[in-house]
Amino acid sequence: MITAKPLSRQASCWQREFARAIRDPNELLRELDLNPALLPAAQAAAVKFPLRAPRGFVARMRRGDPDDPLLRQVLPLAEELAPAPGFVADPLDEQATQAAPGVLHKYPGRALLIATGVCAVHCRYCFRRAFSYTEARAGANQWRSALSYLASDASIREVILSGGDPLALSNRRLSVLLAALEQIPHLERLRIHSRLPIVLPERIDGGLAAALTDTRLRPVLVIHANHPHEIDETVVKALECLATAGVTLLNQSVLLRGVNDDAATLAALSEALFAARVLPYYLHLLDHVQGAAHFAVKENVALAIMNTLRQRLPGYLAPRLVREQPGQLAKTLVESRR
Ligand SMILES: *Cc1c(COP(=O)(O)O)cnc(C)c1O
Ligand code: SF4
């Protein structure tokens, strides 16, 4: 007799897509009709930080173009292995700012909880690329000490779920976490930092929208898009679903050489975001992490791009150019010196 699995045990559609991500450099090159000569370098660089790209995201890349701005974000390159002075494993000294296991509390009023170490995509420029992404999700025990830290400090008004990618957690696990956070009386806002709405929009389902809006905490979702080509119809639909449910939507980008280091691209990104009901929040200067030096944009170039961008867009569509400096009490605004 064939028995159907109970519904709760079946992987949902997004979980299957999550698991089906491309991890083999050879498959990625074949999928996009790229020159097989790129393979040895891709394989070598993937040893340090594995390739991972959801198929739906790869489908938005141009075939046969090794410089495609979406491909550049995920394809391992020989440049990653070249030594670059000043580019280190932990550029933000995050290991030193752990307030409790899995909690970073650097800025007054808000604390960041590493909800899971898993990501749907591996971004080659990621400042956490040197940490183990294969590490299992933070167990219930780890949440327990994180939760008691948050409960012990009444100055914390906002909890930021980060990772990894917190939306890699199932709706059920996320709801368990939100229910526990809701019990902490001084928390008012729930912020989630996630790249999943962009790289795996299937993740945004009715269950997630309900989980985010059924809580007394005010929900803010900060997505992560770097290039207008990342925002296709499926992404717009997913974001509209969340906006309609009442989630405040913001975007952060990283300024990346060869991906989005020109005002026209960033202006198109802001316009596409707004059309999908998202406001631009931050444009980050690259953190100097080992293996990402080829993405760096010089500060004076970044400022010139920002000046042009501000002339082209309404003020509310121009993101704030920031850099993270260890030891500061907020992100540092990057402005022209006069
Ligand atoms: C970036 C960051 C935040 C959030 O900063 P905002 O300026 O409020 O967006 C909070 N905690 C840590 C550790 C961060 O790196
Ligand atoms: S999704 Fe975010 S945390 Fe994960 S690899 Fe990309 S930048 Fe890093």
Within-domain flag for 2: no
> Rounded to 5 degrees, what are φ and ψ at 174?
-65, -40
Q: What is the mean pLDDT of residues 307-331?
A: 96
pLDDT tens for each residue of 141-171: 678 999 999 999 999 999 999 999 999 999 9
- Nearest by Cα to 51 from 116, 129, 136: 129
Within-domain flag for 4: no
Q: Are residues 57 and 178 in the same domain?
A: no
pLDDT tens for each residue of 253-291: 999 999 999 999 999 999 999 999 999 999 999 999 999
Q: What is the mean pLDDT of residues 1-30?
A: 80
Can you give the residue range of the structural domain that contains 68?
13-81
pLDDT value of residue 129: 86
**Amino acid type, 9:** R
pLDDT of 4 above 60: no
pLDDT value of residue 134: 44
Q: Are residues 134 and 52 in the same domain?
A: no
Q: What is the mean pLDDT of residues 39-66?
A: 98
Pocket of ligand 1 (CB under 6 A): 104, 106-107, 110, 112, 160, 330-331
Distance 330 CA to ligand 1 centre (A): 7
Q: Are residues 195 and 256 in the same domain?
A: yes
126 lines ligand 2 (CB under 6 A): yes
Distance 158 CA to ligand 1 centre (A): 10
pLDDT value of residue 7: 47
> Rounded to whole angstroms, how far apart are CA atoms 230 and 226?
7
pLDDT value of residue 64: 98
Q: What is the mean pLDDT of residues 19-35?
A: 98
* Contact yes or no for 324/332 (Cβ under 8 A): yes
Residue with more model confidence, 4 or 60 = 60
pLDDT of 114 above 90: yes
Q: Are residues 238 and 301 in the same domain?
A: yes
**Amino acid type, 333:** L
Q: Are residues 268 and 317 in the same domain?
A: yes
Q: Name which of 77-91, 121-135, 187-201 the model is least confident about.
A: 121-135
Ligand nearest to the CA of 157: 1
CATH number for the domain spanning 183: value is 3.20.20.70
Q: Are residues 166 and 309 in the same domain?
A: yes
CA of 125, closest atom in ligand 2: 7
3-state DSSP of the chain: CCCCCCHHHCCCHHHHHHHCCECCHHHHHHHCCCCHHHHHHHHHHHHHCCCCECHHHHCCCCCCCCCCCCHHHHCCCHHHHCCCCCCECCCCCHHHHEEECCEEEEECCEEEEECCCCCCCCCCCCCCCCCCCCCCCCCHHHHHHHHHHHHHCCCCCEEEEECCCHHHCCHHHHHHHHHHHHCCCCCCEEEEEECHHHHCHHHCCHHHHHHHHCCCCEEEEEEECCCHHHCCHHHHHHHHHHHHHCCEEEEEEECCCCCCCCHHHHHHHHHHHHHCCCEEEEEECCCCECCCHHHCCCHHHHHHHHHHHHHHCCHHHCCEEEECCCCCCCCEECCCCC
* Contact yes or no for 167/221 (Cβ under 8 A): no
Within-domain flag for 314: yes
Residue 237: partners with Cβ closer than 8 Å, 6 or more residues away: 201
Q: What is the mean pLDDT of residues 237-263?
A: 98
pLDDT value of residue 337: 74
Ligand nearest to the CA of 192: 1
Give 92's pLDDT tier (boundaries 50, 70, 90).
confident
For 110, counting Cβ atoms within 10 Å of its Cβ (0-12 exposed, 13-18 middle, 19+ buried), the class is middle
Q: How many beta carbons lie within 10 A of that of residue 328, not counting itself?
A: 11
pLDDT of 8 above 70: no
Ligand nearest to the CA of 165: 2
Within-domain flag for 8: no
For 308, counting Cβ atoms within 10 Å of its Cβ (0-12 exposed, 13-18 middle, 19+ buried), the class is middle
Distance 280 CA to ligand 2 centre (A): 18
Give 1's pLDDT tier (boundaries 50, 70, 90).
very low
Q: Are residues 77 and 98 in the same domain?
A: no
Within-domain flag for 312: yes
Distance 337 CA to ligand 2 centre (A): 31
Total tally of structural domains belonging to the chain = 2
Give 132's pLDDT tier (boundaries 50, 70, 90).
low
Q: Are residues 147 and 171 in the same domain?
A: yes
pLDDT of 139 above 90: no
Within-domain flag for 89: no
Ligand 1: which of 92, 93, 112 to mutate, judged by most atoms within 8 Å of the beta carbon? 112
Residue 210: both structure tokens together: 């309900």
pLDDT tens for each residue of 193-234: 999 999 999 999 999 999 999 999 999 999 999 999 999 999
Q: What is the mean pLDDT of residues 15-43?
A: 98
Q: Are residues 72 and 117 in the same domain?
A: no
Q: Are residues 166 and 265 in the same domain?
A: yes
Give 130's pLDDT tier (boundaries 50, 70, 90).
confident
- Mean pLDDT score across all residues of the chain: 93
Residue 182: both structure tokens together: 């809701």
> Rounded to whole angstroms, how far apart are CA atoms 22 and 29?
10
Ligand 1: which of 95, 103, 107 to mutate, judged by most atoms within 8 Å of the beta carbon? 107
CA of 193, closest atom in ligand 2: 2
Distance 112 CA to ligand 2 centre (A): 15
Residue 300: both structure tokens together: 């004076």
Distance 197 CA to ligand 2 centre (A): 13
